[in-house]
Amino acid sequence: MANQIEIAKLHYEISQMRAQLFQHKKWGSEPELDNDAWRGQAKSTHDDIRRHMQLAYTNVQDETEQLMRAIEIETRRLQTTIASCQIVIDTKQQSLQTLKAAK
- Segment 57-91, tens digit of pLDDT: 888 888 888 988 898 899 889 999 999 999 999 99
List C-alpha distances in Å: 33 to 13, 15, 29, 36, 43: 34, 31, 12, 8, 11
Instruction: Fill in the DSSP letter of residue 31.
Output: -
Supply the pLDDT for residue 83.
92
For residue 3, which of 81, 56, 61 has the smallest C-alpha distance? 81
Supply the pLDDT for residue 62.
86
pLDDT at 38 over 70: no
End-to-end Cα separation, the chain, in angstroms: 40
pTM over 0.95: no
Q: Are 45 and 60 in contact (CB under 8 A)?
A: no
